[in-house]
Amino acid sequence: MKSSIKTHQLQGSPSDNATVQSVLQHLRDPRYFRTALPLYRRLQFGRFLEGSHLLTNRELENDEPISADDTSEPWLYAFVDRSCRPETEVWLFGSWETPSTRTDNVHVNGTFGSRDIHNEEAILSLLHSLLLVLKALGLPPSIHEAPADAPNSTDNTVDSAGLSKADYAAHASSPNIMLWGSIHARTIPYLKTLDVLSGESSTTVVPNHMFIFDVLSMTTPLDLPPSVRWGKLKKEHFALVRSRTQIPRQDRTLGALPNLGLFPTQGTETEKSSPVAWAFVGLNASLTTLHVEPAYRRMGLAQKLTTKLFREEMDLFFADGMEKLAQGYVIVGNEASKGMCVSLGGKAEWTVYWVRVDLGKV
């Protein structure tokens, strides 16, 4: 396996892109599929733009066979699109992240994790090569226009992680800072050793429980109380969605995501009314932006929304014959959201992080 990284620009739909199909076929291997789910689903979703690239040290054009010693030397795949800032710019899967990899626990700069005990030097070299290629790609203009309610330095409302809207969007002011999403706990110590994480300690490493849901086993009844009805969110509702979360959601992305909402039953379907609850399927098929207004809580609506969303809005992701698995992220410490995921049969299988990588340190 080579440590050099090759760049493949992605265009068209995932089903018509030979590079994407080659990667998806490789990651269907049972050794990788579950752990690689965030990257796998992100590639399935598509939305490939001018800045969309697949980076890997594997020789995709040679249609490499999957061998029994496929993890003997490290390899990685990374989906990269810097034009989507301030949203997640990098989704990564490395062969060392699989549960079968032999590891030792380590403690680096206050963060617990684990490392491949045989390939540490090779993994560090590979990640360093990836960072060099990312730096050379440059920074294209963002596809997003700042909404009228964009965060500013005086926006001090915080979420369960203690972060404000301004905190979440702060990286967008520096071209050297990249937002990497759903990064496996086994990769964090390597990034710390390479000393490429941004120095903003409060927002550099945010741990999340990675919940996996077996959609076929979800049994929550979908009957609703008489006060609400099912519906879909439209563009006119996105300002309300943005106002209920500290994470900077963008209208262009919200408009591309499958969603479900709950609306008051008073009035007709064509009359304008504000949703009282909603949830979206994220770019990596995760449960995203789930929210229930305070007056409608403790009615089981979050569970019903999540179940219906996974059952009925994810055909795109379930067309490959693989397990019907969905995912959700819960910031460590958010016990209410964690409890909701557990009540639906979700299992917190590992920890992932949203990290800011500083290319100025490369």
Q: What is the pLDDT of residues 216-243, one digit of tens each?
A: 999 999 999 999 999 999 999 999 999 9
Residue 20 to residues 43, 129, 182, 255, Cα–Cα distance (Å): 7, 21, 19, 24
For residue 86, cis peptide bond before it (omega within 30 degrees of 0): yes
Model confidence at 78: pLDDT above 70:
yes
Tokens standing for residue 361: 């340190």
Tokens standing for residue 362: 């490369």
- Its CATH architecture, for the domain 216-350, is 3-Layer(aba) Sandwich (3.40)
Contact 10, 54 (CB under 8 A): yes
pLDDT tens digits, 153-205: 455 675 655 555 556 666 667 889 999 999 999 999 999 999 999 865 444 56
Q: Return the percentage of the chain with pLDDT > 90, whole number.
A: 68
pLDDT tens digits, 243-286: 988 777 889 999 999 999 999 997 655 457 899 999 999 999 99
Q: Return the percentage of the chain with pLDDT > 70, whole number.
A: 80
Taking phi first (over 0 means left), then psi (-120 to 50 degrees means alpha), and beta for anything else, what does residue 208 get? beta
Residue ranges of the alpha helices (H) in the chain? 18-27, 37-45, 120-137, 165-169, 188-193, 201-204, 238-243, 251-256, 301-312, 335-343
Q: Model pTM?
A: 0.88
Give the C-alpha separation, 319 to 83, whole Å.
28
Could you state, in order of their start, the residue ranges of all structural domains in the chain? 6-210+351-361, 216-350
Tokens standing for residue 4: 């050099």
Taking phi first (over 0 means left), then psi (-120 to 50 degrees means alpha), and beta for anything else, what does residue 298 get? left
